[in-house]
Each structure stands twice: as C-alpha cells, then as structure tokens.
Chains A and B, each alone.
Chain A
C-alpha cells in the first residue's frame, strides 16, 4: 500500500489534537466539557480515519447520498465548521452581554452616592 505525504501530515496533526483534547478533559481543565471533547473526537478523529482509510469517504458519500465521495466529505466539513463558528459566535455574544451587564451593575452601584451628593449640592444652592 502506497502512503502519501498528506496522510502522514493529517495523522500527525490529528494525533496531537486528539491527545491534547483527551488530556485536557481527563485533567478537568477549565472549560473542558464533554461536548468539546466529543466535537474534537468527531472532527480530528474523522480526519484521521479518512487519512488512514481514504475509501471510507465512499461510505460517507453513500450515507449522505451525494455522488463523488470527496465532495460529500468537503460538504460535511463545511457544515461542521459552520456549526462550530455559529456556536463560537453565540458564546462570544453571550459573554459580551454578560460583560455589559457586569459593567452596568458596577456603574449603577455608585448611583446612591451620586444622588446624595447631588441633593447636598441642591440644598447648598
């Protein structure tokens, strides 16, 4: 069986990414959820699988129903990337809102002092 360069490169990168993900999850590092691990296993595991067994793309093509195995893989990849970006942007949006809320609470916590000062100034006038 002839081994191509792309197969070696993909397997190396996938191995590192999978090792890192599993290690972080087992060490229970901050923000490492099972969902994150699952996504990592599917994405990088899937790429490694395709690199080792290029013909497995035929199964994906057959399952999705698209002629041409590599097109099916690329399409699936795009969908996964789109979903990941969507998830990521939603998380950023949520964090942005939380930051604004915290900033607002902090600003409003000084309101009572301001009211007292303003009233004091009104009385002095």
Chain B
C-alpha cells in the first residue's frame, strides 16, 4: 500500500554516461520517485546525460572525491528536497529498481530507520572473488565497528529522513558503506536487511574504479587509519 511519503533515489555516478540515462529510465518505470544524480567529477558526459533527463536533480562535484563523498552530497540534497525516505543505489545499472519497493517497505511501516540491501552470495549469482571479498569486508567491519551484517559493502540502501540526518561520516571513498554500519551501531538506529538482485554485466564488471582487489586493500587501510586519527 502506497502512502504520501516522498522517496528520493540518490545515484552517485562516476563516468557512467553510457548507462546513466537507462538507469534513470528504469527507476522511473519502477515507481514515482524523486531522482538525485551526483556526478562525481566525471571526465565524460555523465552530468549532461543526467541533466538531460526531465525532472532529475543533477548535481556535479567539480573534482572526483569518491563514491562516499558523492553519496553524502546526494543524501544532503535529498534531505533539503524534503524526502521522507532516501534510497542510495549505484549508477552502473547493477541494482534493479524493482527492488526499491521492498527496500523502503520496512521504513514505510516505521519498523526501522535503515534498510540494507543484501546481495545473494551464492556461486553463480555473484562472482566467487566477490563472495570472498564480501566476507572479508564483513569480518573487518565487524572487528572495527562492532556490528555484523550480511553485506557491509552494498550500496543499495534505504534511510528514513531521521537516519539520513543523523548519519555523519567523513569517509569519501568505498569505506563509506562500512562507516555507515558504524553510524547505525553508534546511533542505535533500527535496521533490517532485505535481499536484493544484482545484475553483473560486462559493463559494471569492467570498470577500473570499482571496488576491486587493490581498491579493497586501499579501503581496508583507510578503515584502519580512520581508527587511528
């Protein structure tokens, strides 16, 4: 059952000009949502492509600051737009917009403040290397931030207006997703996990700036460094 809550979809995007219009179209087809695209200093025409889509709020970082920084900018913009529920999802089309409804349902029912989309970690549905990386990420997040979740690195999440206002992290890169888990724990926010689908395409898997092995190590170092300073 739908209510009158405003839902904003925040899409951090970096060099996604090829697919961003299609991602926006899919979201539009999935429901009536406000869409905020944050172009994170792309060198291609991502910003122009997003801006060309009617009704989309397209913002641009003049320089590349990382997925976390772009997500935070998008969440702040959505808050200013008066969104009651904010959903974050990737700009490469790997997340299925038809999952948004299930993702926001627990917040609509006031059952929780944050909903974490959980990718299926089954061989065949998720690349094996990603399953291992995901498990390591979950263990590190648990060790550093004291909370165990099934998918600490998923970018497909939903926040209530309250949660989006209270969660504050200075993490700019991929460690943002784990730092949000820390914030949920520190602020005693109610959360739940909802299974989501992921579409691993040649495009999404081929991007160099994605969270690969080297970027994963860098993220780990930044997480540990963040504990020291």
Contact = CB atoms under 8 A, between A and B. Distances in A.
A76 interface: no
By size class, the interface of chain A is 20 to 34
Main DSSP-derived SS at the A contact region: helix
A104 B57 contact: no
A108 B38 CA distance: 10
B73 A118 contact: no
Contact of B59 (A90, A93, A111, A122): A111
Interface string A98-118: 011001101110110011001
Contacts of A115: 57, 81
Contact of A90 (B41, B66, B229): B229
Interface of A: 86, 89-90, 93, 96-97, 99-100, 103-104, 106-108, 110-111, 114-115, 118, 121-122, 125
A100 B41 CA distance: 12
A96 B172 contact: yes
B208 interface: no
Contacts, number: 61
Given A93-B229, A118-B55, A103 B80 contact: no
Interface residues of B, number: 26
Nearest to B56: A118
Contact of B61 (A86, A107, A121, A125): A107
B172 A104 contact: no
Contacts of B55: 118, 121-122
Interface string B141-163: 00000000000000000000000
A108 B78 CA distance: 11
Interface string B124-156: 000000000000000000000000000000000
Contacts of A90: 229
Interface string B62-74: 1101100100110
Contacts of B57: 111, 114-115, 118
Given A114-B58, A115-B57, A121-B55, A107 B73 contact: yes
A120 to B, nearest CB: 10
